[in-house]
Structure 1
């Protein structure tokens, strides 16, 4: 990531309290619905790091932790039932803790850098998927301003999502599955 931004793997023991505090902020309770206590976050982070489905990441700005991200295997996620998933598709969830940097263009600026980094680590990946809640206007705006292609709203067992893709090339936009 370009300075003054940085990314690192979340540390379950060192970061669980901070993430729990963030996820209990009103804007993240509404967007993520994970207002868990620190102990549950610690267990969740340990489980992610022990598995192969997702990686918890902390994003910082000028040395100050400011965001929680989850990079995950989209083809292993329930969203894969809505589009023609490729085994190497990645997905990204973003929780910006600091409201003063929301809607400042930070996601639009950083998304290409994050995408380039992820694609260099997984060269077989052709696209990154985003699945915010359909009511999450901040996340939807960030996807649209970041160059994502909208693939529609979809009813899932636990919510209604807005599905977006950021393709490596225009030919990597997936087709939707029939339901």
Structure 2
């Protein structure tokens, strides 16, 4: 993902079934209401921001925006905000000291917006878009994630795009499955090899 364009789209991908997906940097103030609605929704329980006020959510995302090793992006589906992505350097954020980070590792979180009209295959298209965006950076060799051990839905999605669980780790806020996906593992799930 290019970091040069701070106002517009930093990545685009067309899904053959579901249309255009894109990422743009999150704006903590302008996107505050949207972010608050998404991260405090009951379906976002694993995001661990339940009960936060809009001001607290905006403050959290302002801190992410200012952090040298952490970014947040609003994901768009056909031009409309539909998901949230965080990208981080696991040697400095989230996993610091919990695993042996290698050059080219990148961490991520993603959250689909709550909806009353779910689209079949949408979440899989989102995680595929997120992975494609991360691997769009030639420096990225592996994507590292640390989902809650109880989040079986995300474990299945992670496996579908090439992640393998490495080990169970104890984080201060949760027990997690450290999972890693190399570029080749991701490409193999997309029917392509390097």
Normalising to structure 2: TM-score of the pair? 0.76
Paired residue for 2:168?
Answer: 153
| Aligned with 1:131 (options 126, 135, 146) | 146
Instruction: Check whether the contact 1:130–1:165 (CA below 8 A) recurs between aligned residues.
Output: yes
Instruction: Check whether the contact 2:64–2:72 (CA below 8 A) recurs between aligned residues.
Output: yes
Deviations for 1:133-173, whole angstroms, at most 9, x for unmatched residues? 11111211110111111112222222100121111246xxx
Paired residue for 1:32?
Answer: 47
Count of matched residue pairs: 167
| Aligned with 1:23 (options 7, 31, 39) | 39
Q: Distance in 2 between matches of 1:168 and 1:144?
A: 14
Q: Say what the alpha-carbon RMSD is for the aligned residues.
A: 2.1
Paired residue for 1:140?
Answer: 155
Q: Distance in 2 between matches of 1:138 and 1:59?
A: 20
Instruction: Check whether the contact 1:73–1:88 (CA below 8 A) recurs between aligned residues.
Output: no
Deviations for 1:35-72, whole angstroms, at most 9, x for unmatched residues? 22111122222222222121111112122211111011
Report the CA distance between 1:113 and its aligned residue. 4.2
Paired residue for 2:192?
Answer: none
Where do 5+ consecutive residues of structure 2 fail to align? 1-12, 186-194
What does residue range 1-179 of structure 1 map to in structure 2 within 5 Å? 1-2=13-14, 3-28=19-44, 30-35=45-50, 36-99=52-115, 100-101=117-118, 104-121=120-137, 123-169=138-184
Normalising to structure 1: TM-score of the pair? 0.82
SS at match of 1:19: helix
Greater Cα shift, 74-83 or 8-17: 74-83
Query: Residues 151 and 105 of structure 1: is their aligned pair in 2 closer, same or farther, counting only changes over 3 Å?
Result: farther
Where do 5+ consecutive residues of structure 1 fail to align? 171-179
SS at match of 2:29: helix
Instruction: Check whether the contact 1:5–1:62 (CA below 8 A) recurs between aligned residues.
Output: yes
SS at match of 1:164: strand
Report the CA distance between 1:124 and its aligned residue. 2.5
Instruction: Check whether the contact 1:75–1:87 (CA below 8 A) recurs between aligned residues.
Output: no
